[in-house]
Chains A and B, each alone.
Chain A
Amino acid sequence: MEISDKYICDLLSSDNKQGMNLLFKKYFESLVVWADTFLNDMDLSKDLVQDFFVKIWRNKNYRNWNPDKLPSYLHVSVKNMAYSKLQKKDILKQTEEIDSFDKIYEEYQSNKEVIIQRIHAEIDKLPEKGKEVVKCIYLKGMKYQEAADELGVSLSTVKTQLVRSLKTLRTNTEKLGDFFLLYFFSK
């Protein structure tokens, strides 16, 4: 069962440590992958989110939290922290469309379990080669050339395999889209 943000904020408003535990368990993982979107470094991202939670607890920042704004507060804070850590290192930072990330992340956060489960099931169905390329790029965060070296294939193979894999995933993500519509309208 998903713990509601309201419950977490209620506990925290009275300095109840249990609220902090629930907050950590609910958000830690997705905030780490969110920070990693900008930093492309999982260890650094874990440290960053750890620091963030420690700061929240020590400074008692949580006292007047509005449960409706909690997810966006958390993800905007982590994004800002990640930005200030960036030293021209990331690729995504240079894209103009960075704001569309926020919306996509909110969708992800609120349907995390379903999305993760589906994506993993879909990736499992990919042919071996495509699976390897997808993992190099999206799991290990490699550049195309690094992936090509790692797998002992040409750069253009990496490119075509990546696109082919994403296209295969596409139909399914579109189905996932339908699912979202259904999900949102049913509420």
Chain B
Amino acid sequence: MNITDKKYQEIVDYISGELTAEDKTNFEIWLNSSEKNKNAYQQILRKTLYTRWSLKSTQVNTELEFNKFERRINKRVRYLSFAAVAASIILLFSIALPFLLNDGAVEDNSIAHSVQIEPGKRGAELFLSTGESIKIEEGIKEIREKDGSVIQIDSLKGVEYSAESKTKLEEIYNTLRVPRGREFDILLADGTQVWLNAESELKYPVQFVGGKRQVYLKGEAYFDVTPNKEKAFIVHSYDQQVKVYGTEFCVNSYNQNEIKTVLVEGSVGVKANSKGIETKLKPGELGLANLVTGEMDVKKVNVRPYIAWKAGDFVFENESLENIMIRLERWYNVKVFFMNEECKHFRFTGDMERYSDVKDLLFFMQRTSNAKFEINENAIIVMAK
């Protein structure tokens, strides 16, 4: 390509849209004056477009977008039923009444406010062994820990640790903190994948050097543990310990007085505290740990409501409004106020997308119960009708 440096610059500037109107006209005259000029331009254009497309393609997470697409084309039945356990006949009356009078539509006005409450999105903060912290919001980064391990940080794909470090083996810890209104996932050095829900934190060794693989969780996480018979994988949440034998499960320790462990696949042993006896869970079982007494309560459950968040859904089965609103607080990063205590005990069953507008859910609950919702700035106010 025989063009001057100046011309090269001009072509690049033209493609970038950085030429003045006059320069642009002159450039186009030059461009159209010969085939040779056109070829030179085309070569540089190809290069800039390839570069642009290749770089931007990393910003598209096809898996995630595909899930979104699936949800859009599958019009599932979102809301299954409404179970009024605490509420009595009076409540049933008030549900029926608006329908009988056919004025249910009037009610949604009270929810609708111009303020947009955004659903959660991906993001986290990573704390290195040096105490340095890195905010993960967008883009890709690669860093090296002091033991030589390589950490790949990709806002879309998650955090990933290299399987080996270069220097001598020492156990150093990193912490991934996911704030309210965020979720994130991480691939540990042994290949174990962990999904962290909003307002959760996981502390883990950069390389699993010792005889056990031990991690520390606050909040909620879903684990897909790489099997390794020689090195047990142990999840500590406060005093509870879950010992894993290669498996998929979810630990919810938002409420320290009642840590929930749900087993999806494989086998785990749970100890409510260091002195407790290990209780084995089978797939489809929920373990409720009492940290004070060291006792474990095990029951058979439908696992979906416990793990649906990982797949981008909100599922609740006969759950109290109080608990539902706590979950909304974390995911939509809002504050919830109950004007009337009795509303806390209303129970609902439902299934919705986690990424959708919170108003859809509030509207449904308002239509089918005695509760009324109002959005005010970044707060949701719950009151009795």
Contacts and interface: CB of A to CB of B under 8 A. Distances in A.
Interface of A: 21, 24-25, 28-30, 32-34, 36-37, 42, 46, 50, 53-54, 57-58, 90-92, 94-97, 100-101, 104-105, 107-108, 112, 115-116, 119-120, 123, 134-135, 137-139, 143-144, 159, 162-163, 166-167, 169-170, 173-174, 176
B85 interface: no
Interface in B31-59: 31, 41-57, 59
A143 B28 CA distance: 21
B265 interface: no
B8 interface: yes
Contacts of B43: 170, 173-174
Interface stretch (B11-19, B172-180, B266-274): B11-19
Given A95-B17, A101-B49, 19 more contacts: A24-B69, A28-B60, A32-B60, A37-B52, A50-B65, A54-B72, A96-B31, A97-B45, A107-B46, A108-B53, A115-B54, A119-B50, A119-B51, A123-B51, A137-B16, A138-B48, A138-B55, A163-B5, A176-B50
B48 A123 contact: no
Contacts of B8: 163, 167
A97 B24 CA distance: 12
Interface of B: 1, 5, 8-9, 12-18, 24, 28, 31, 41-57, 59-60, 62, 65-66, 68-69, 72-73, 139
A139 B55 contact: yes
Contact of A50 (B41, B46, B54, B68): B68
Nearest to B63: A25
A169 B47 CA distance: 8
B50 A115 contact: yes
A91 B17 contact: yes
B73 A104 contact: no
Contacts of A34: 53
B48 A166 contact: yes
B48 A28 contact: no
Contacts, number: 133
27 contacts: A24-B66, A24-B69, A30-B57, A33-B56, A33-B57, A42-B56, A54-B73, A57-B73, A92-B15, A100-B45, A108-B50, A108-B53, A116-B53, A119-B50, A123-B55, A137-B16, A138-B48, A138-B51, A138-B52, A139-B56, A159-B12, A162-B12, A162-B16, A166-B47, A166-B48, A170-B47, A173-B46
A80 to B, nearest CB: 19
B57 A116 contact: yes
Q: Most chain-A CB neighbours within 10 Å: which of B8, B51, B57, B65?
A: B51
Nearest to A112: B57
A11 B341 CA distance: 56
Nearest to A173: B47
Report the 6 A-B pairs with minimum CB-CB distance, sorted nearest first: A91-B17, A119-B54, A139-B55, A138-B52, A33-B53, A29-B60
B9 A29 contact: no
Contacts of A33: 52-53, 56-57, 60
A135 to B, nearest CB: 7
B238 to A, nearest CB: 39
Contacts of B60: 28-29, 32-33, 42, 46
Contact of B62 (A25, A57, A101): A25
B15 A95 contact: yes
B12 A173 contact: no
Nearest to A27: B62
Contacts of A95: 14-15, 17
A112 to B, nearest CB: 8
A97 B50 contact: no
A177 to B, nearest CB: 8
A26 to B, nearest CB: 9
Nearest to B53: A33
A54 B69 contact: yes
A73 to B, nearest CB: 19
A120 B140 CA distance: 12
